[in-house]
Amino acid sequence: MSALETLLSQYRTVSLTNSQELYPESEGQGLPLIQVKSPLCQAVIALQGAQILEFKNSAGTPLLWLSPQCRFNPGSALRGGIPLCLPWFGPHPTDASKPQHGYARTRNWELTQVAENDEGRCELTFELVSEPGPLFDYAFTCVLRMTLSRHVDIQLSVTNRDSQAFDFSWAFHSYFPVRILEQARVKGLAGRDYRDNLEQLITKTQDQDLGFVGEVDRVFPGIEQAVEIAGEPTIRIEHDQCPSVITWNPGPDNAAAMADVGAGNEQGFICVERGAVLDEAWHLDAGETRTAWMRISEA
């Protein structure tokens, strides 16, 4: 029995499994997964990226979307759930050869702590220690605390362990299910300016609730309030210290060309992400720790 299996054997609600067992029709070499089953929720989390892939509340309502064509390969991004993009978001600002959205989502995180209570609330703590290297010049540690109950709480803490300050952009790249894409609306963004990633980040104004017609890729800065996805289900996204909102859907043409999405599957999801990107990236002094938090619940 591995050390992780020994650790998890102490708990009623948490177990170790793998992608071949949970997703037998999926492609890829396979990855270890953690499964949570409690009276309050069901969830699946990949150790790679400390990435929650699925979450259903006690009513059985799915609050996250996982691509039916997700490919489970070590070192490759997983399509769906909540990938954690850091230490940069999108393309690297100065070197296009570096991986899109950083490298945290394709590295294995260490599960350092598990806690559960009698009601079924489960808390998992993951850690990623990154040393200076060819992808990033500075040393840092990330701690991700995931609390699963009737809703999902995710807390990210980043500590600069280096002797120099650095800038650090990141996002909870959340995928949410929608029943009818053309009817889905994101509330809380009307009247706000955004940067349009489809037009060289020029600034525009969102004149009404955000809908999804064709490809959408927008960054809304300075969004302090919660936002909601109106649909089936209606999902509320609350936060602290996540000023940026990124909204994305690839549109039909791009989805058809993406092996891990596939033609037509773009109709089943939208991304509404919270984080700190572009001008809102964190500046971390040597020794500084910053923390952010997001909650996903059925409204």
Inter-CA distances, 95 with 69, 171, 284, Å: 29, 19, 21
Question: Which residues lie below 8 Å from residue 65, measured CB to CB, with a gap of 6+?
Answer: 80, 81, 175, 176, 177, 268, 269
Strands 235-240 and 216-220: unpaired
Question: Which residues lie below 8 Å from residue 276, measured CB to CB, with a gap of 6+?
Answer: 169, 170, 171, 241, 242, 243, 244, 282, 292
Q: Report the CATH number at residue 145.
A: 2.70.98.10
Give me 220's structure tokens: 């809304």
3-state SS assignment for residue 57: strand
Tell me which residue range forms the domain holding 12.
3-298
pLDDT score for 232: 83
pLDDT score for 5: 87
Q: Is 107 exposed, middle or buried (0-12, 13-18, 19+ CB in 10 A)?
A: middle
The amino acid sitting at 206 is Q
Residue-by-residue pLDDT tens, the chain, 299 positions: 688 988 898 999 999 999 999 999 999 999 999 999 999 999 999 999 999 999 999 999 999 999 999 999 999 999 999 999 999 999 999 999 999 999 999 999 999 999 999 999 999 999 999 999 999 999 999 999 999 999 999 999 999 999 999 999 999 999 999 999 999 999 999 999 999 999 999 999 999 999 999 999 999 999 999 999 998 899 999 999 999 999 999 999 999 999 999 999 999 999 999 999 999 999 999 999 999 999 999 99
The C-alpha atoms of residue 263 and residue 117 are separated, in whole angstroms, by: 42
pLDDT score for 1: 62
Longest C-alpha distance within the chain, in Å? Answer: 57
Residue positions annotated with a catalytic role? 173, 273
pLDDT score for 2: 84
Angle at alpha carbon of residue 29, lines to 71 and 133, rounded to 5°: 85
Predicted TM-score (pTM) above 0.95: yes
The C-alpha atoms of residue 10 and residue 7 are separated, in whole angstroms, by: 6
Q: How many domains does the chain have?
A: 1
Angle at alpha carbon of residue 106, lines to 223 and 256, rounded to 5°: 75
The C-alpha atoms of residue 174 and residue 164 are separated, in whole angstroms, by: 31
The C-alpha atoms of residue 268 and residue 258 are separated, in whole angstroms, by: 15
Confirm if 145 and 155 have CB atoms less than 8 A apart.
Answer: yes
The C-alpha atoms of residue 278 and residue 219 are separated, in whole angstroms, by: 9
